[in-house]
Amino acid sequence: MEQPTQGQTAGREAAPAPQPGNVLISLYDAAIRNLCTAQTNLASASAQAASEPLHKTAAILEQLIAALDYSQAPELCDNLEQLYKYMLDKIHDAHSRSSAEPLVPVIRQLANLREAWAQVVE
């Protein structure tokens, strides 16, 4: 029986690796989706239901911070890290106060970042 070659699995071609820009857009989409869910839950006084999507978004932002490559664009990375940390602060504020209001600017900023990356990837 012939062994699969690199890039193949059991007679099928492996899916190509996603482009980094597309992965970033997907992460922004997930963060926005989670925050919208949390916002809805907080607005309906369901702070417990908002907890999981807030934690998921915080984890995404922490991974985005960890993935910054300062050797490529130090000033951009510094600005993004500061912005991501600001977003984390707002998410923690929303969670601790059980308020959807701090999430509004975070969703808007993530949507702006997502749109900018979508234009770069095109």
The answer as to whether 53 is a domain residue is: yes
The answer as to whether 90 is a domain residue is: yes
**Quick one: how far is CA 47 from the chain centroid?**
21
Range of the domain at 29: 18-121
Q: Output the pTM of the full model.
A: 0.82
Q: What is the pLDDT of residue 103?
A: 97
The single-letter code of the amino acid at 1 is M
Q: Above 60 in pLDDT, residue 2?
A: no
The answer as to whether 58 is a domain residue is: yes
Report the C-alpha gap between 51 and 40 in whole angstroms. Answer: 12
Report the C-alpha gap between 28 and 110 in whole angstroms. Answer: 6
> Tell me: the pLDDT tens digits for 54-95?
999 999 999 999 999 999 999 999 999 999 999 999 999 999
Q: What is the total count of domains within the chain?
A: 1
The answer as to whether 6 is a domain residue is: no
CATH code of the domain in which 37 resides: 1.20.120.340
DSSP letter, residue 101: T
The single-letter code of the amino acid at 84 is Y
